[in-house]
Amino acid sequence: MCGRFTRHYTWEELFRLYHLSSTPANIQPSYNVCPTDTVDTVRATDGKRELVPMRWGLIPWHWKKPLKEMKLATFNARVETVATKPMFRDAFKRRRCLIPASGYYEWEDTPGGKQPHYFTARDGSAVLTMAGLWDDWKNVETKERLLSCTMLITEPNRFVAEVHDRMPVILRLEQFDTWLDGSMGVNDIKTPIADDYLRRRRVARRVNSSRAPNDDDATLIDEAA
């Protein structure tokens, strides 16, 4: 799974990468983005791409209970079941998005406990682009609308498998359009990104806690001694 990531890119970097049509956003860095946090997503509307903040953890449009009763972990969707699972299948058909991240964390089971590793693009690119889904839910209590998203995960490539048994579906630039327009199917995203696409480093276990500083503590991504 992918349960934490970072955001320290700029609006200009997103604008150039995704050819955004939306107005500039004041993007603040976060070094420990967790499920239920508000994250950046890119979706296509009338042929134009816009940056839209959403809750990380998808609430499907047909959810009839209060938000606090959503106990399922919906921040990741497995490619093997995303087209058939009631929680995600409508969004997979109709509502896709891109989820930018500067990098993401994954944990290795070691005799000394869970060791976090931080993954980024090997070529130094500022942004990794994950395949995502989004939905629009009406709060049954407040009647307010909530936009939310999930990140797709698949089998790991050999490099990531040295640490963990799952990884995000990472898209290349030439795949953005076909993902957003719905023409990419399950078989197109099952195969993970190439083994040499990512690099990683061990980081301090302070990031293991969801309560670790997340706004200004850039040392969370420093290589561990």
How many angstroms separate the CA atoms of 182 and 180, rounded?
5
Cα–chain-centroid distance for residue 122?
Answer: 18
Token pair, residue 213, equals 């500083």
Q: What is the pTM of this model?
A: 0.96
Burial classification of residue 15, based on how many CB atoms lie within 10 Å of its CB (0-12 exposed, 13-18 middle, 19 or more buried): middle
The predicted model gives 158-175 an average pLDDT of: 97
Chain segment 55-103, per-residue pLDDT in tens? 999 999 999 999 999 989 999 999 999 999 999 999 999 999 999 999 9
The pLDDT value given to residue 141: 87
Chain segment 183-225, per-residue pLDDT in tens? 999 999 999 999 999 999 999 998 887 666 666 789 999 999 7
- Residue among 220, 206, 119 at smallest CA distance from 164: 119
Chain segment 99-158, per-residue pLDDT in tens? 999 999 999 999 989 999 999 999 999 999 999 999 999 998 899 999 999 999 999 999
**C-alpha distances out from residue 169 to 28, 111, 137, 199, Å:** 24, 29, 24, 16
At the fourth CATH level, the homologous superfamily of domain 5-221 is SOS response associated peptidase-like (3.90.1680.10)
Distance linking the first and last C-alpha atoms of the chain:
26
Q: Which helix (H) or strand (E) holds 105?
A: strand 103-110
How many angstroms separate the CA atoms of 156 and 167, rounded?
5
Residues comprising the chain, all counted: 225
Chain segment 170-187, per-residue pLDDT in tens? 999 999 999 999 999 999
How many angstroms separate the CA atoms of 45 and 57, rounded?
21
How many angstroms separate the CA atoms of 129 and 103, rounded?
10
